[in-house]
Amino acid sequence: MQKLLRSFYDRETMVVARELLGKYLVHVSRGVERIGRIVEVEAYLGSHDLAAHSAKGLTGRTKVMFGPPGHAYVYLIYGMYHCMNVVTEREGHASAVLLRAIEPIKNVAGRTQGPGLLCRAMRIDKRLNAKDLLSDDFYIATPRRTEPFVMIKAPRVGVDYARHWARRYLRFYIKGNLFVSRR
DNA sequence: TGCACGATGAAC
DNA sequence: TTCATCGTGCAC
């Protein structure tokens, strides 16, 4: 597998989001390598995007989004689930891609259809916040063999508070994949 | 120092 | 449709 380089993440967020589909998320913890195929993502375009956490500005939680690309932004949501993002674009742009669902490839137990379930199954929590995704134990890679797929665009989930930004088609997923979260 | 509210998921 | 559960951001 070919690990994605910094230059992959340092591009327009919507391009990164679309190209993350079909890639392999790899996390090694306690000597166990877990791999999931990314099948659903959402793009958060920067501090001007009212649905993005970075729209609140530079705060303790959002500082990772304002940092350099290719790092993980992991946060606790609703007091019980974690969500994982990939920081994109140049430092200071505060954009990211939320990983919403994966297809189990290796050592992934439990359901993975949704950002909270994905993190639970991949053993991803706040300890990985701000971690470099070019690490040896936490990265995204291009699989040796890639399956062709059709991509679907849809509005993002759970961001109705973001007015017109909630209606933009910034959710991308692999058509027909069984592990895409519904709604 | 207090409090309203989630980029969710599961139960009813 | 309701609820579990708690860190964050902002009001006071």
Instruction: Determine if strand C comes within 7 Å of the CB of A182.
Output: no
* Nucleotide closest in space to A62 (CA vs C1'): C8
Report pLDDT digits (tens) over A7-42: 999 999 999 999 999 999 999 999 999 999 999 999
Q: Which two tokens stand for residue A96?
A: 């990211």
List bases in chain B with any atom under 7 Å of a protein Cβ: 6-10
The answer to whether residue A16 sits within a structural domain is yes
Structure confidence at residue A24 (pLDDT): 98
Instruction: Determine if strand C comes within 7 Å of the CB of A176.
Output: no
The answer to whether residue A180 sits within a structural domain is no
Query: Average of pLDDT values for A112-137?
Result: 98
The residue segments making up the domain with residue A49 are: 2-174
The answer to whether residue A21 sits within a structural domain is yes
Angstrom distance, A51 CA to B6 C1': 12
Quickly list DSSP for A81-116: EEEEEEEESSTTS-EEEEEEEEEEEES--S--BSHH
Angstrom distance, A9 CA to B8 C1': 26
Instruction: Determine if strand C comes within 7 Å of the CB of A130.
Output: no
The answer to whether residue A159 sits within a structural domain is yes
pLDDT band (50, 70, 90) for residue A182: confident
Report pLDDT digits (tens) over A82-115: 999 999 999 999 999 999 999 999 999 999 999 9
The answer to whether residue A179 sits within a structural domain is no
Q: How many domains does chain A have?
A: 1
- C-alpha span between A77 and A13 (Å, rounded): 22
Residues found in chain A: 183
Enclosing H/E stretch for A131: none
- C-alpha span between A72 and A59 (Å, rounded): 16
Instruction: Determine if strand C comes within 7 Å of the CB of A183.
Output: no
Quote the percentage of chain A above a pLDDT of 90.
Answer: 97
Quote the percentage of chain A above a pLDDT of 70.
Answer: 99
Q: Which two tokens stand for residue A181?
A: 């979260």
* Nucleotide closest in space to A80 (CA vs C1'): C5
Q: Please, what is the average pLDDT of chain A?
A: 97
Residue A104 sits in a domain whose CATH number is: 3.10.300.10
* Nucleotide closest in space to A94 (CA vs C1'): B7
Count the Cβ atoms, other than its own, within 10 Å of residue A32.
10
* Nucleotide closest in space to A110 (CA vs C1'): B9
Angstrom distance, A78 CA to B1 C1': 22
List bases in chain C with any atom under 7 Å of a protein Cβ: 4-10
The answer to whether residue A56 sits within a structural domain is yes
Angstrom distance, A165 CA to C7 C1': 25
